Amino acid sequence: MIAPGKTIGVLGGGQLGRMLAQAAQTLGYRVHVYEPQIHCPAGAVANHEVNASYQDAEALLDFARGVDVVTYEFENIPAAALAVIAPLVPLHPSAEVLHTTQNRQREKAWLKANGFPHVAYAEALDGDIAPAVAQVGLPCVVKTADFGYDGKGQMKLSTQADLEQAVAIFRGRRCVVEAWCEFSCELSVIVARSTNGETRAFPVSENIHTHHILDFSIVPARVSTAVAAAAEALAARIAEKIDVVGLLAVELFLTTADELVVNELAPRPHNSGHWSLDGGETSQFEQHVRAVCGLPLGAVAVREPTVMVNILGDAWKWADGKVVGAPRWAAILAAPRAKLHLYGKAEPRPGRKMGHFTVRAADVATALAQAQALKAQL
């Protein structure tokens, strides 16, 4: 066990690192953040911030020597950086878990090899997507194997004209081509697994996306008890099989045939888990700290039905491509059951996650209606 009072190192300085640092400090840990970009959200609240490249081996070595355990808040960390750190200090989740989940082709292959339900797909690893599209058929979704999140690096194809356009866009890039999945809703389950193998799954979140970016997360999800139990059990099996230590977010489709299909995995705190900061017995960030430090895992029950709403840079007032006014924060702050969380990012941009808010109520329908009304007032 890495007891409170020790130092946790976090690779990545975004909002997930910021909220992770805040949770760790509440438990009595010190937090060091490693982030190439200066003035990062996590660095603003950390006990120590290192701004250096992931290719800077000396900086990575120095960082590792100053902490007792290392974790990360996003997947796009070069394997070479982890290879520098891993011999010196415990690294959770492991480099092997990150290697599998940071690449869509490897992730799909892992799901297939281990018998987990997944979207049918074909590989296009030679830079030519046409044969893979022919294999899965239209409609389908083309996704780059690397560096994809919030809809980046992907395109839905429905017609031959779409295919011709996509061939040019994705030429020379390693991709996977997924058959289109007809789903009734999108779900996610965040599973915590400790260094001693203790595993707990948070309740299922129902996720509504707009322009490929998470808009609303609804907990408990509006699905049957049987579907919720099956989703939590599936996510726990995946976490154990991949041998994760920390958090694993399992994104799922519930098909129109009422079957669960795995979409993607993320070995870190997840946007769809932000509801837990205000609506859960334990937040996902505290749970991640508990898991990577070998502490007993916290309770995962929902304190009260909760809806989380992302706040994007679009919420600012814009004119001629420039910000001319801030959102109406008073609308949220005046709501007695709402909580505002801003990430300390200096520059709003359309599509950029600037914060979120949560709304709690006696039932899901009321929480969702109030959340939608507050979002409209921003």
**Cα gap 321→301, rounded to integer Å:** 44
- How high is the pLDDT of residue 296? 98
Residues 28 and 144 occupy one common structural domain: no
Domain assignment of residue 317, yes or no: yes
**Percentage above 70 pLDDT, the chain:** 99
pLDDT over 80 at 151, yes or no: no
Residues 190 and 53 occupy one common structural domain: no
pLDDT over 80 at 149, yes or no: no
Residues 226 and 369 occupy one common structural domain: yes
| pTM over cut 0.85 | yes
Residues 360 and 254 occupy one common structural domain: yes
Residue 7 gets the label, from left (phi > 0), alpha (psi -120 to 50) or beta, of: beta
Is there a contact between 89 and 70 (Cβ–Cβ < 8 Å)? yes
Domain assignment of residue 101, yes or no: no
- How high is the pLDDT of residue 137? 96
Average pLDDT, integer, range 256-272: 97
Residues 128 and 189 occupy one common structural domain: no
- Bridge partner residues of 8 (DSSP): 31, 69
**Percentage above 90 pLDDT, the chain:** 96
**Cα gap 290→296, rounded to integer Å:** 6
Domains identified in the chain, total number: 3
Tell me: the pLDDT tens digits for 117-127?
A: 999 999 998 88
Domain assignment of residue 201, yes or no: yes
Task: Report the CATH number that the domain containing residue 136 is assigned in CATH.
Answer: 3.30.1490.20
Residues 193 and 292 occupy one common structural domain: yes
Residues 159 and 192 occupy one common structural domain: no
- How high is the pLDDT of residue 127? 84
Residues 188 and 164 occupy one common structural domain: no
User: Residue 196's domain spans which residues?
Assistant: 183-377
Tell me: the pLDDT tens digits for 298-323?
A: 999 999 999 999 999 999 999 999 99
Tell me: the pLDDT tens digits for 24-62?
A: 999 999 999 999 999 999 999 999 999 999 999 999 999
Tell me: the pLDDT tens digits for 221-249?
A: 999 999 999 999 999 999 999 999 999 99
CB-based contacts of 17, cutoff 8 Å, min separation 6: 10, 33, 35, 40, 41, 42, 73
pLDDT over 90 at 363, yes or no: yes
- How high is the pLDDT of residue 150? 59
Task: Report the CATH number that the domain containing residue 205 is assigned in CATH.
Answer: 3.30.470.20
Residues 338 and 192 occupy one common structural domain: yes
pLDDT bracket for residue 155 (50, 70, 90): very high
Residues 246 and 157 occupy one common structural domain: no
Domain assignment of residue 141, yes or no: yes
DSSP string, 309-339: EEEEGGGSEEETTEEEE---HHHHHT-TTEE
**Cα gap 289→64, rounded to integer Å:** 17
Average pLDDT, integer, range 152-165: 92
Separation in Å, CA 98 to CA 139, 142, 232, 244, 273:
30, 22, 22, 9, 19
Tell me: the pLDDT tens digits for 54-79?
A: 999 999 999 999 999 999 999 989 99
Residue 297 φ/ψ, nearest 5 degrees: -75, 150
Residues 174 and 197 occupy one common structural domain: no
Instruction: Retrieve residue 343's tokens.
Output: 């990430």
Tell me: the pLDDT tens digits for 167-192?
A: 999 999 999 999 999 999 999 999 99
How does the average pLDDT of the chain come out, rounded?
Answer: 96
346 burial class (0-12, 13-18, 19+ CB within 10 angstroms)?
exposed
Is there a contact between 18 and 42 (Cβ–Cβ < 8 Å)? yes
Domain assignment of residue 175, yes or no: yes
- How high is the pLDDT of residue 346? 87
pLDDT over 80 at 11, yes or no: yes
Task: Report the CATH number that the domain containing residue 86 is assigned in CATH.
Answer: 3.40.50.20
pLDDT over 90 at 10, yes or no: yes
Average pLDDT, integer, range 5-28: 98
Q: Identify the residue with better confidence: 212 or 22.
A: 22
Residues 357 and 225 occupy one common structural domain: yes
3-state secondary structure of 355: strand
115 burial class (0-12, 13-18, 19+ CB within 10 angstroms)?
exposed
